[in-house]
Structure 1
Amino acid sequence: MDFKDLIKDLKNRQFKPIYLLHGEESYYIDKISDFIEDNVLSDAEKGFNQSVFYGKDSDIMSILNAAKRYPMMSDFQVILVKEAQELKWGKDGEDDKKAPDPLLAYFENPLPSTILVFCFRHAKFDKRKKTYKAIEKKGIIFESASLNDNKISAWIENFVRDKGYNIQAQASALMAEYLGNDLSKVSNELEKLMLNVKLGQEINTTDIQNNIGISKDYNVFELQNAISRKDAFKANQIINYFAENPKNNPIFLVLGNLNSYFSKILKVHYASDKSPQGLARELGVAPFFVKDFEIAARAYNKEKVFRIISYLRECDLKVKGVEASGNTEQGDLMKELLFKIIH
């Protein structure tokens, strides 16, 4: 079920007796779990009718015994099982007929007045299991998949729009590159940012620099622009800034971003549809950024791009200590890499 549809049903008090929330991305799992915990029962009802278990410290029978209770002075009781991936799930219905699996038996015939929620974070529940199929039949299964890196920028734009703000494409892309696809981390940074920006205002790169700590002048996008123009002076300025601020600009992040950047340039060379719309689809970027990649593709032919990707891998191995680099500082490694890229 879609996240918004699930929340809509919960708001309309259309409950199911079992919810399995699972997947690699914890953001939506936590959002759904928090909504159920905060809104299904009134404060007066929660004392007798809401229980929270943690998988590592709980067992199936304790959870089932709680689930089989009837609510007190309420239409429902809520049982939340957090970190359910740590729970010992039993034999999944494989016991003999004299000792049927109690978990499967409950899932096949759950108590309608109990709302039992399993939060299976950073992992997928095995869809081949009988328990999965039983939940699918009687309850709701929500899978929270990781968002692809090329979709984070659009996610950021939708997030701030839902909060009544707008954000510049450059600013959302900058945040996406630096914060990655951990939606909980991204949303936390956005929430802090919006506390310092007036409602309805367009968020720009200056706001991000002032509130998140990502420099609007010395960042990976400015590095990419300098490289695409073969501006060695500006590129070295940025590399020096990264070396002086390694906490905010870790070399692994820089190398990963440059690898992604040159991989996209390679796609420009091989794209069958080189129209702005076609390249935007191929690269997974907003049309706003297509021109920058076209400029870079003219500066670096296919053969050079292949060599650059090889240089990036060599540098990555040196940083990790797989290939000897002596006592070379990471800043010096980046300068050496930059020279190889531009020349």
Structure 2
Amino acid sequence: MPLDKAKSIINEIKSGVIRPIYFLMGEEPYYIDGIAKFIEESVLSEEEKGFNQVVLYGRDVTVEDIVSQAKRYPMMAEKQVVIVKEAQELSRTIENLVSYAENPQPTTVLVFCYKYKTLDKRKKLAKIIGKSGVLFESKKLYENQVPDWIRRVLSGRGYTITPKAAQMLVEFLGNDLSKVNNELEKLQLILKPGAQITPQHIEENIGISKDFNNFELQNAIGNKDVQKAFTIIQYFAQNPKNHPLVMTIALLYSFFSKVLKYHALSNKGDAAKVLGVSPYFVKDYEIASKNYPMKKTSAVIASIREIDMKSKGVGAANLSQGDLLKELLVKIFN
């Protein structure tokens, strides 16, 4: 996982092993920002930074400008640090870095923050940096991987979190790790080390209702709790900005698609791995599979698709979000 690789890079720097080039690339900016910030804050002392640390921006410089800066010698320090932010702006000419990467200045620490793109690993530059420096790819996590990421990050900081609380964060924030981390840091300011983060903490401090959210709606439907499901969608209808229909439909479609997969499993012991969920939540799919036989599950998926089309104006005359959700629940429960 990127988390393990990022920790390894940081631990290596802490131990005094500092590479001449760090090329940080990929779709997930959280790790790129984190590693670059650590290098920016820790490689040089405060006294050394004034003359020996510079931040460049890809939109303002050329690869040749960067190389020229990197070839300079440090002043009254063992190293200089050159950080290139928004380096993806140089994607058309980045291969021009090859000659420098082949023979990097040993007294320079050159850091590229190459967000949302990656180098072509078949080309020469990626291969050279992989040998002489650090080539780090920060891949986006799938949403079903984020709860485990939350638990691991909090564990490293001396906290724990309940599975439901972690799921609430993911449902509200998705797989944007920077946003998730910001909310975790807010909770850490409030809670003492060693505390367990609960749905109550999420509701009180982040503003996500522990009772009225898509996760609870999914559970109510899976358990065939008709009254609870209708109560939740009524709340959604009154707060449409905080509970957009498109998100609810996407979550329910994903849920019932996994219920269908659960039906098809010959070995239910493989459910967590096949469905891509925490073992803690497997029981939700087991219960739903009993309440919705395979044929009914297929019919529910068809109904979700139909409501999705209606929400986009196909075959429906300006129905409200509340009306569409009510229609969907009637189709699911009948």
Q: What TM-score do you get using the length of structure 1 for normalisation?
A: 0.92
Tell me, what secondary structure is at the counterpart of 1:70?
A: coil
2:163 is matched with 169
CA gap 1:91/1:213 in 2 versus in 1, 3 angstroms? closer
Q: 1:156 deviation in Å?
A: 0.9
Name whichever of 120-129 and 294-303 sits farther off. 120-129
Tell me, what secondary structure is at the counterpart of 1:257?
A: helix
Q: 1:88 deviation in Å?
A: 4.8
| Residues 1:239 and 2:238 are matched in the alignment | no
Contact 1:149 1:180 in 2 (8 A): yes
Q: 1:89 deviation in Å?
A: 4.0
1:284 is matched with 276
| Residues 1:334 and 2:325 are matched in the alignment | yes
Q: What percentage of residue pairs aligned between the two structures are identical? A: 51
Q: Distance in 1 between matches of 2:105 and 2:172?
A: 46
| Residues 1:77 and 2:69 are matched in the alignment | no
- Spell out, residue by residue over 1:223-272, the C-alpha distance to the aligned partner (whole angstroms, 9 max, x if none): 12221232322211101111222233222221121111111111110112
| Residues 1:146 and 2:140 are matched in the alignment | yes
CA gap 1:222/1:40 in 2 versus in 1, 3 angstroms? same
1:300 is matched with 292
1:135 is matched with 129
Q: Which of residues 57, 61, 64 in structure 1 aligns to 2:60? A: 57
Q: Which of residues 68, 71, 96 in structure 1 aligns to 2:71? A: 68
2:107 is matched with 113
Name whichever of 142-151 and 193-202 sits farther off. 193-202
Q: Which amino acid aligns with 2:328?
A: L
| Residues 1:124 and 2:105 are matched in the alignment | no
Q: 1:316 deviation in Å?
A: 2.5
Q: How many residue pairs were aligned? A: 331
Q: 1:297 deviation in Å?
A: 0.4
Name whichever of 184-193 and 243-252 sits farther off. 243-252
Q: Which amino acid aligns with 1:267?
A: K
Q: 1:8 deviation in Å?
A: 0.5
Contact 2:240 2:321 in 1 (8 A): no
Q: Which amino acid aligns with 1:83?
A: E
Q: 1:204 deviation in Å?
A: 0.7
Contact 1:25 1:146 in 2 (8 A): yes
CA gap 1:8/1:317 in 2 versus in 1, 3 angstroms? same
1:98 is matched with none
Tell me, what secondary structure is at the counterpart of 1:57?
A: coil
2:151 is matched with 157
1:47 is matched with 50
> Which runs of no fewer than 5 residues in structure 2 stay unpaired?
none
Q: Distance in 2 between matches of 1:117 and 1:46?
A: 15
Q: 1:285 deviation in Å?
A: 2.3
Q: Distance in 1 between matches of 2:38 and 2:268?
A: 45
> Which runs of no fewer than 5 residues in structure 1 stay unpaired?
93-100
Q: Distance in 1 between matches of 2:143 and 2:258?
A: 13
Q: Distance in 2 between matches of 1:48 and 1:217?
A: 55
Q: Distance in 1 between matches of 2:331 and 2:6?
A: 47
Q: Distance in 2 between matches of 1:91 and 1:258?
A: 43
Q: Which amino acid aligns with 1:333?
A: L
Matches within 5 A, 1:198-217: 198-217=192-211
Q: 1:181 deviation in Å?
A: 1.1
- Spell out, residue by residue over 1:191-240, the C-alpha distance to the aligned partner (whole angstroms, 9 max, x if none): 11222222211111111111111111111222122212323222111011
Q: Distance in 1 between matches of 2:94 and 2:114?
A: 18
| Residues 1:272 and 2:272 are matched in the alignment | no
Q: 1:71 deviation in Å?
A: 0.4
CA gap 1:305/1:31 in 2 versus in 1, 3 angstroms? same
Tell me the C-alpha RMSD between the 2 structures: 1.6
Q: Which of residues 295, 307, 310 in structure 2 aligns to 1:315? A: 307
